[in-house]
Chains A and B, each alone.
Chain A
Amino acid sequence: MVAFIQLLGRVVLNWVRETGRIQLFLLQGLALAFVPPFRPRRVLQEINQIGVKSTLIILLTALFTGMVLGLQGYYTLRKYGSEGALGAAVALSLIREMGPVLTALMVSARAGSAVTAEVGIMRITEQLDALDTMAVNPVQYVVMPKLLAGLIAVPLLTAIFDVVGILGGYLVGVVLLGVSSGSYFSGMVQSVVPLDINGGIVKSLVFGLTIILVASYKGYHTEHGAEGVSRATNQTVVLSAVLVLAWDYLLTSFFM
Chain B
Amino acid sequence: MIQVIDLHKSFNGQAVLDGINLEIPTGKITVVIGKSGVGKSVLLKHLIGLLKPDRGQVLVDGLDITKLQGRKLQDLKKRFAVLFQGGALFDSLNVFENIAFPLREKARLPEGEIVRRVHERLEQMNLSLEAGKKFPDELSGGMKKRVALARAMIQEPEIILFDEPVTGLDPPMSNTVFHLIKKTHAASNYTALVVAHDIPEVFSIADVVAMLHHGRIIACCGPEEIKHHPDPVVQSFIRGEPDFLEA
Query: Which residues of A line the B interface, CB within 8 A?
Result: 121-122, 125-127, 129-130, 132-136
Contact of B50 among A121, A127, A129, A135 (CB under 8 A): A129
Task: Tell whether, in the assembled complex, residue B78 and residue A135 are in contact, meaning their CB atoms are under 8 Å apart.
Answer: yes
B129 interfacial contact with A, CB 8 Å: no
On chain A, the residues within 8 Å of B77 by CB distance are: 132-135
Closest CB in chain A relative to B149 CB, distance in Å: 13
On chain A, the residues within 8 Å of B106 by CB distance are: 134-135
Task: Tell whether, in the assembled complex, residue B81 and residue A125 are in contact, meaning their CB atoms are under 8 Å apart.
Answer: no
User: How many Å lie between the Cα of A133 and that of B157 in the bound state?
Assistant: 12
On chain A, the residues within 8 Å of B115 by CB distance are: none
B132 interfacial contact with A, CB 8 Å: no
B45 interfacial contact with A, CB 8 Å: yes
Task: Tell whether, in the assembled complex, residue A134 and residue B50 are in contact, meaning their CB atoms are under 8 Å apart.
Answer: no
Task: Tell whether, in the assembled complex, residue A130 and residue B88 are in contact, meaning their CB atoms are under 8 Å apart.
Answer: yes
User: How many Å lie between the Cα of A121 and that of B91 in the bound state?
Assistant: 9
A133-B77, A135-B74 known; A125-B88 Cβ under 8 A: yes
User: How many Å lie between the Cα of A128 and that of B50 in the bound state?
Assistant: 10
Task: Tell whether, in the assembled complex, residue B105 and residue A129 are in contact, meaning their CB atoms are under 8 Å apart.
Answer: no
Task: Tell whether, in the assembled complex, residue B74 and residue A129 are in contact, meaning their CB atoms are under 8 Å apart.
Answer: no
Chain B 103-118 near chain A by CB (<8 Å), digits 1 or 0: 0011000000000000
Q: List 17 A-B contacts (CB under 8 A).
A: A125-B86, A125-B91, A126-B88, A127-B88, A127-B91, A129-B45, A129-B84, A129-B88, A130-B88, A130-B90, A132-B77, A133-B50, A134-B77, A134-B81, A134-B101, A134-B106, A136-B105
User: How many Å lie between the Cα of A161 and that of B77 in the bound state?
Assistant: 46
On chain A, the residues within 8 Å of B155 by CB distance are: 134
On chain A, the residues within 8 Å of B81 by CB distance are: 133-134
Interface centre among A133, A134, A136 (most CB of B within 10 A): A133
A135-B77, A135-B106, A136-B105 known; A126-B91 Cβ under 8 A: no
B234 interfacial contact with A, CB 8 Å: no
Contact of B84 among A121, A122, A126, A136 (CB under 8 A): A126
User: How many Å lie between the Cα of A125 and that of B45 in the bound state?
Assistant: 14
Closest CB in chain B relative to A48 CB, distance in Å: 12
B102 interfacial contact with A, CB 8 Å: yes
- Having A133-B48, A133-B81, A136-B105, one finds 12 other A-B pairs with CB under 8 Å, namely A121-B91, A126-B84, A126-B86, A127-B88, A129-B84, A129-B88, A130-B88, A133-B50, A133-B80, A133-B82, A135-B77, A135-B106
On chain B, the residues within 8 Å of A121 by CB distance are: 91
Task: Tell whether, in the assembled complex, residue B84 and residue A130 are in contact, meaning their CB atoms are under 8 Å apart.
Answer: yes
Closest CB in chain B relative to A117 CB, distance in Å: 11
User: How many Å lie between the Cα of A134 and that of B103 in the bound state?
Assistant: 10
Chain B 33-45 near chain A by CB (<8 Å), digits 1 or 0: 0000000000001
User: How many Å lie between the Cα of A122 and that of B105 in the bound state?
Assistant: 18
Contact of B90 among A127, A133, A135 (CB under 8 A): A127
On chain B, the residues within 8 Å of A132 by CB distance are: 50, 77
Closest CB in chain A relative to B136 CB, distance in Å: 9
User: How many Å lie between the Cα of A129 and that of B82 in the bound state?
Assistant: 10
Closest CB in chain B relative to A26 CB, distance in Å: 20
Closest CB in chain A relative to B193 CB, distance in Å: 13
User: How many Å lie between the Cα of A133 and that of B51 in the bound state?
Assistant: 12
Closest CB in chain B relative to A197 CB, distance in Å: 37
Closest CB in chain B relative to A53 CB, distance in Å: 14
Closest CB in chain A relative to B116 CB, distance in Å: 20
User: How many Å lie between the Cα of A189 and that of B48 in the bound state?
Assistant: 62
Interface centre among A122, A132, A134 (most CB of B within 10 A): A134
Q: Select from chain B the residue with minimum beta-carbon distance to A124.
A: B86
User: How many Å lie between the Cα of A219 and that of B155 in the bound state?
Assistant: 29
User: How many Å lie between the Cα of A122 and that of B89 in the bound state?
Assistant: 9
Q: Select from chain A the residue with minimum beta-carbon distance to B148.
A: A130
User: How many Å lie between the Cα of A132 and that of B91 in the bound state?
Assistant: 16
Task: Tell whether, in the assembled complex, residue B82 and residue A130 are in contact, meaning their CB atoms are under 8 Å apart.
Answer: yes
Chain B 122-154 interface residues, beta-carbon cutoff 8 Å to A: none
Task: Tell whether, in the assembled complex, residue B105 and residue A134 are in contact, meaning their CB atoms are under 8 Å apart.
Answer: yes
User: How many Å lie between the Cα of A127 and that of B80 in the bound state?
Assistant: 16
On chain B, the residues within 8 Å of A133 by CB distance are: 48, 50, 77, 80-82
Q: Select from chain B the residue with minimum beta-carbon distance to A137.
A: B74
User: How many Å lie between the Cα of A130 and that of B154 in the bound state?
Assistant: 14
Closest CB in chain B relative to A229 CB, distance in Å: 13
Q: Select from chain A the residue with minimum beta-carbon distance to B50.
A: A129
Q: Select from chain B the residue with minimum beta-carbon distance to A132.
A: B50
Closest CB in chain A relative to B32 CB, distance in Å: 18
The 9 closest A-B pairs by CB, nearest first: A130-B88, A126-B88, A133-B82, A135-B77, A135-B78, A126-B84, A134-B102, A135-B74, A136-B105
Chain B 46-95 interface residues, beta-carbon cutoff 8 Å to A: 48, 50, 74, 77-78, 80-82, 84, 86, 88-91
